[in-house]
Each structure stands twice: as C-alpha cells, then as structure tokens.
Structure 1
Amino acid sequence: MTALEASGRNAVPAVEKSTAGTRPAHPASDHPRRATARKWAEIALFVGPALALFLTFVVYPVVSAARYSMYKWNGVSQFSDAEFIGFDNYARALWGGSDPATHQAFRTAYTEPFWEALSHNFAIIFLSLAIQLPLALIVALTLNRKFRGRAFTRVVIFAPYVLSEVIAGTMWLIIFDPNGVATQWMRAIGLDMPAGGWFEDPTWGFWTVFFIITWKYVGLAIILFLAGLSGVSEDLQEAAAIDGASWWQIQWRINIPLIGPTIRIWAFLSIIGSIQLFDMVWVLNRGGTAGQYSTIASYMMEIGFFRSDWGYGSAIAVIMFFLSFVIALAYMATILRRDNAHPRKAA
C-alpha cells in the first residue's frame, strides 16, 4: 500500500464525520418569532370572543346612544331626517330646557319627571344600605351555625333572587290586587287597602315597590354573607367564647369585621343595581300612574319607546351610564382599593 492510498483511506472517514456533524443553518431569530406569534395567537383566541362581545353589546350601544342623544328623532322616521340639536336633550333632562329663562335657578327642576325618577334611585340606594344590609346581616349571623334543615333554609332564602323579575312582579301584582291576599288580610284585621290601590297610592306605592325589591334581592346578600362567614376560623370564635365574650360581642368584634370586604362588595353591587333598576319597577305598573316610583331606566323606556322621543331617551340613557360609571370608579378607588391592597387588614 502506498502512502497516497493510506492517506486517502484515512481521509474518507474524516470527511464523513465532518459531514454528519453539520446541521443546516437557520436564522437565530426564527424561534423567538414563532414564540411571539404563538403567544399573540393564544391571546387573540381567548380574548377575541370576549372583546367582540364587549364591543358589540357595550361599546357600540353607548356610542350609538350618545349619537342619537344629539338629535331630535322619533325612532320611526329615517335617521337622516332627524334634526341635530346638540346638547339640548341633556339640558332638557338636567334643568328643563336650553333656554336660560326656563331654568329659574332649579326652583322647578326637582318637580320634573327626570329628577323625580333620579330621586327614587337614590332613595332606593339609601334604603337598601339602611334596611337590607342590617336585615341580611342579622339573618346571616343567625343562620351561621349547624342545624337541621340548614341547606333547605338557604335554598328558600335564595329562591326569590333566582326568580325572574317578570314572574316575581306578576306574582306580587296578584297578591296586592284589590281582591288579592294582602287586601283580604288587611280587611280581616279591620283595615282597608290604600286609596286607589297599593301601587297607585302616592304614599304606599313607593314603599310597596321597595318591599318587593327587598324580598327579591335580600337573599343574595344573605347568601354572600354566609359564604363570607364560612371562611371565618371557628378557633377565633371559640377562643373569644372561652375568654367570656358574648354572642353579640363575637359577631361585632370578630365576624362582621372579617367579612367586611364581602359587605363592601355587596354594597357596590347594590348601588349599581339600584341605579340601573328597571325590570321590577316596569312590571309593577310601569313606574306608577303618576311616576311615584319610577326610576331613570323606567323613565327612559317610557320616553323613548312609548312617547317616541328617542333623542331625549338616549340622553337619559347616557346620563345613567356615566352616573353608574363615575360612582363605580369612585367606589372602587376609595373603598374596594383598600381591600385589594390590604386584604387581611380590611375591616
């Protein structure tokens, strides 16, 4: 064997080894690009449907209402024929009209239907916090123990909230009918129903509606408070009882402070729900014959759909939206923010 043959035979494996160990070259940025594209695809997949629904059913109606509120339109004719009036609809709602001569320094503003409806919304907010909150707390603290029929009792308490407003409202219309159960009970004890009916009477109408609202929605507060109480350690209560604390002292100093975040969340839901209250009020005689218990939402429906004043009704809708939005932001920034920042110290 010659030296040339030997060197050639030895060189072949070296070339094969070098060839086998070589991989095709790819740009170093391909992998990060694929990862980024996959990340955005996942975000679009999960966020896209929710964003589409939000834009369709929240943003678009608000923008459309803001647009309609600038026009005088009956909702029937072509919108191109509507008359542009700027902010006159808002002026009409807030102080009676765009003419300064009609303002009269708000002397007659509170007699207008809009302000009357708005006052009912705020009255319901106040009464909900003043009556429903203590009532729900007392019931929840009382039921926060083991007893026979505990699950059934909770179902009965929560059942009114599950019922639709139409079914519940119709049921109470039958009960408070001039020949209904409530009227018969009043007559049985020697009393008579309010003049003109339970819902038509100027004094009894609002309180009857608030009673029905309390029956309908207080169950949610009770269940939320019971859920919060279930997270309170029993060792704390037993230790307090051993130290001589009474039942009321345990509730006031331990249970109620520890479910403070739950109470504040319910209060937030109650405030926003009271501002947007519509279904129950509308079912119960469309806010009353003289608007004695109408709300902003029911007044908006009355104006927009039954009086064919879509521009003014849209202005009321926009006012209601911004009122809810501002109150929600203020409540979250001042009250709920503390619970999120210091969940253990919140009380």
Structure 2
Amino acid sequence: MTLTTPAGPPAARRRPSGFARMRTDGSLTALILFLPPAVLLFTLFVIWPIFSAVDLSFYKWNGYGDVTNFVGLRNYEILVKNSIFHQSLFNSLKLLLASIFLQIPLALVLALLLYRKTSANTAFRLIFFAPYILAEIATGLIWSFIFDGDYGISAMVANKLGTEPFYILADKQWAFWTIIIVVVWKYFGYHMMIFIAALQAVPSDLVEAAEIDGASSLKTIWYVKLPMIMHAIKLSVLFAITGALQVFDIIIPLTNGGPSNSTHSIVSYLYTFGLARMNVGFGAAVGVVLFALCVGTAFTYKRMAIDKGGQL
C-alpha cells in the first residue's frame, strides 16, 4: 500500500502576504506618496521642537544671538527651588481634579438628561455647548468684566444689595476658584456632547429590557447606560487631564497670574518667567517639565484606566 501525503493548498488559494496585498490594492503606492511628507512634517513641527527645547534648557539665553552660555542643569535647579513654580504645579493639580470631579460629572448628568432627540433638548445642547465655541481669550475677558469690582456685573449686584464691592480677582484666597469656575463653564459642554453621542449609540432594546425587568431609572443608568458608554467616559477624562495641564489663555486675561503670582498654571508660569522676561533657556526647561508631565500622566492613565479596562 502506498502512503500519500495530503496535497497543500493550491497556489491560487494561498493567502497573499501583506506586502503583496498592498501592491495589488494600491495601498503601497499611497504609502509611498503620503508617508514621507507626513513624517517630514511631524519631524519638523513635533520631534525637532522637542529636541530643540531640551537642548535650550541647558543654556542661559535671552532669545538673541548665538546660544553659547551653557549652564548645565542650573535652570532645572532654579525651577525646583522656586516657590512660585511649586504654586503653579499645585494650581494645575487643582485644575486637573476640578476637571475630573466637577466638569465630567456635570457633563455626564446633563448628557443623561438631554441625549434623547427632541427639539427642546437640541436647544439646551446648543446653549450648554456655546461656551466651548468661544475663544479662550474672549472667555477670560468676558469673565474678567463679570468679576470686576468697580464696573462689572458683580459691582452692579453689590450696589443693588447695598454692600461693599468684592474684588474677587484681587483676593489670593478666591482668585483661583474663579479660574476653576470659568474652566468648568468653558469646557463641560464639550464633554457633554461626547457623552450624548455615546448614549445615543446605546441599543434601545437593552434599556427596554431593563425597564421590563423592573429596574428603576437610576439602576438602568448605573447597570446599563454607564457601562455601555465607559469608553467615552475614559476618553473624556483623558482629554480633561491633558487639557487641565495646558490651561493658559483663560488665566492671562482673567488674572494674569496674580495677585502676587498666586494663580499661575504651569503654562502661564512658563510664559511669564520664561518668554516675557526674555529668559528662553529657563522657559525651555519649564516646557520640558510640562511635556514630561503631560506625556507621563497620559501614558499612566492609559495604562491604568484604559488598557486594563478595555481598549477605547
């Protein structure tokens, strides 16, 4: 008896390799045409500035002439010992916590109330989303007028109540809380729209099944809707974290870091003590620290909250 080995798959039926598929479907041509310009632009406007900032952080340079005054880690030593920088770090941490524990819950509650498609809900969505459309500088100017103790709306209210005007933006204990209020007001509509889009994608039959089984509205939200939109919540929290570490345009017109440099964020500190004072090397050191904080925080959050709980 003769043993025969089973024949392998016909050559025509063999699955082509990835490179062969790219050649046949035209994606290789697109890759050759579009990848080099993208890599070049990314290198010029992202990679190169990062390495340039790291290099400048080891020099004392005012922005003019050649970069020759090498000071090593001196800029970082000044940064570590600077009490205003410590306050700026603490302020950025407060903004981060406010974004997570005030802004996100507010946006989520409003999204649960407004996600159904009705004309009234559409109008309210537009109202709540409108602050996000405003430019940050315009937002800061508007709220600086509202809180102005001499001519603003707060002065008008104090006058009507017969009380002394309160200069909240000049008070060290309260000035930064106004920044937190403005940041929450400015950005909660953005997160609300993310949640609304996610809630509208929740299958209605799951909600109906929970209601038929006797689940209350709160239990339906907790056990059905929130788990189904957890990917959107995680993404929104990531945006809130990275955004809180980069707040700048609102602070400058609102308080300009005052009073007594008590309301600086890391970015406004960089601008005030680096660029505005022509100390570019020191500003580059602050920028490097800010970049490390943003990247480290984002990757840590992704590893702990996203990768372990499922991909976005």
TM tier, smaller: 0.7 to 0.9
Q: Post-superposition shift, 1:65? A: 0.9
Which residue of 174, 177, 182 maps to 1:204?
A: 174
Is the aligned partner of 1:45 residue 2:33? Answer: yes
**TM-score (structure 2 length as normaliser):** 0.86
Number of aligned residue pairs: give it: 290
Aligned residues of 2:248 and 2:265 also touching (Cα < 8 A): yes
Aligned residues of 1:75 and 1:310 also touching (Cα < 8 A): yes
Q: Post-superposition shift, 1:40? A: 5.2
The residue that corresponds to 1:219 in the other structure is 189
Is the aligned partner of 1:166 residue 2:154? Answer: no
Which residue of 221, 227, 243 maps to 1:273?
A: 243
User: Which secondary structure state, in structure 2, belongs to the residue aligned with residue 244 of structure 1?
Assistant: coil
Is the aligned partner of 1:91 residue 2:82? Answer: no
Once residues 54 and 88 of structure 1 are traced to their aligned partners in structure 2, the CA distance between those partners, rounded to angstroms, is 30
Once residues 233 and 45 of structure 2 are traced to their aligned partners in structure 1, the CA distance between those partners, rounded to angstroms, is 30
Which residue of 295, 306, 319 maps to 2:289?
A: 319
User: Which secondary structure state, in structure 2, belongs to the residue aligned with residue 170 of structure 1?
Assistant: helix
The residue that corresponds to 2:14 in the other structure is none
Q: Post-superposition shift, 1:41? A: 4.5
Could you say if the C-alpha distance between residues 237 and 287 of structure 1 is closer, same or farther in structure 2, counting changes exceeding 3 Å? same
- Unaligned 5+ residue runs, structure 1? 1-31, 97-111
Letter in 1 for 2:66: F
Which residue of 112, 115, 119 maps to 1:144?
A: 115
Could you say if the C-alpha distance between residues 167 and 60 of structure 1 is closer, same or farther in structure 2, counting changes exceeding 3 Å? same
The residue that corresponds to 1:181 in the other structure is 153
The residue that corresponds to 1:75 in the other structure is 63
Aligned residues of 2:23 and 2:29 also touching (Cα < 8 A): no
Once residues 32 and 247 of structure 2 are traced to their aligned partners in structure 1, the CA distance between those partners, rounded to angstroms, is 35
User: Rg: which structure is higher?
Assistant: 1
Letter in 2 for 1:182: S
Once residues 238 and 303 of structure 2 are traced to their aligned partners in structure 1, the CA distance between those partners, rounded to angstroms, is 12
Q: Post-superposition shift, 1:141? A: 0.9
Could you say if the C-alpha distance between residues 190 and 86 of structure 1 is closer, same or farther in structure 2, counting changes exceeding 3 Å? same
Once residues 141 and 78 of structure 2 are traced to their aligned partners in structure 1, the CA distance between those partners, rounded to angstroms, is 34
Aligned residues of 1:199 and 1:209 also touching (Cα < 8 A): no
Q: Post-superposition shift, 1:165? A: 0.7
- Unaligned 5+ residue runs, structure 2? 1-19
User: Which secondary structure state, in structure 2, belongs to the residue aligned with residue 239 of structure 1?
Assistant: helix
Aligned residues of 2:98 and 2:184 also touching (Cα < 8 A): no
The residue that corresponds to 2:103 in the other structure is 132
Aligned residues of 2:175 and 2:255 also touching (Cα < 8 A): no
Q: Post-superposition shift, 1:325? A: 0.9
Report Cα offsets for 1:107-133 as digits up to 9, x if no partner: xxxxx1111101100111111111112
Aligned residues of 2:89 and 2:265 also touching (Cα < 8 A): yes
The residue that corresponds to 2:94 in the other structure is 123
Report Cα offsets for 1:173-203 as digits up to 9, x if no partner: 2222221113322443454443xx2222101
User: Which secondary structure state, in structure 2, belongs to the residue aligned with residue 286 of structure 1?
Assistant: coil
Letter in 1 for 2:97: F
Q: Post-superposition shift, 1:211? A: 0.6
Report Cα offsets for 1:43-90 as digits up to 9, x if no partner: 1322233322221221121111111110111123x124x310111111
**TM-score (structure 1 length as normaliser):** 0.78
Letter in 1 for 2:85: F
| Identical columns (%) | 33
Aligned residues of 1:73 and 1:83 also touching (Cα < 8 A): yes
Letter in 2 for 1:198: I
The residue that corresponds to 1:7 in the other structure is none
The residue that corresponds to 1:64 in the other structure is 52
The residue that corresponds to 2:269 in the other structure is 299
Could you say if the C-alpha distance between residues 67 and 150 of structure 1 is closer, same or farther in structure 2, counting changes exceeding 3 Å? same
Root-mean-square deviation over aligned CA pairs: 2.1
Letter in 2 for 1:204: W
Once residues 239 and 135 of structure 2 are traced to their aligned partners in structure 1, the CA distance between those partners, rounded to angstroms, is 18
Once residues 191 and 61 of structure 1 are traced to their aligned partners in structure 2, the CA distance between those partners, rounded to angstroms, is 52
Once residues 191 and 247 of structure 1 are traced to their aligned partners in structure 2, the CA distance between those partners, rounded to angstroms, is 45
Could you say if the C-alpha distance between residues 234 and 187 of structure 1 is closer, same or farther in structure 2, counting changes exceeding 3 Å? farther
Q: Post-superposition shift, 1:309? A: 1.2
User: Which deviates further from its counterpart, 307-316 or 51-60?
Assistant: 51-60
Once residues 203 and 175 of structure 2 are traced to their aligned partners in structure 1, the CA distance between those partners, rounded to angstroms, is 44
Report Cα offsets for 1:308-337 as digits up to 9, x if no partner: 211111100001001111111111222222
Q: Post-superposition shift, 1:303? A: 1.3
Which residue of 245, 251, 260 maps to 2:221?
A: 251
Once residues 217 and 165 of structure 2 are traced to their aligned partners in structure 1, the CA distance between those partners, rounded to angstroms, is 41
Once residues 307 and 246 of structure 1 are traced to their aligned partners in structure 2, the CA distance between those partners, rounded to angstroms, is 60
Aligned residues of 1:303 and 1:310 also touching (Cα < 8 A): no
Once residues 158 and 192 of structure 1 are traced to their aligned partners in structure 2, the CA distance between those partners, rounded to angstroms, is 34
Query: Runs of 4 or more off by more than 4 Å in structure 1?
Result: 38-41
User: Which secondary structure state, in structure 2, belongs to the residue aligned with residue 44 of structure 1?
Assistant: helix
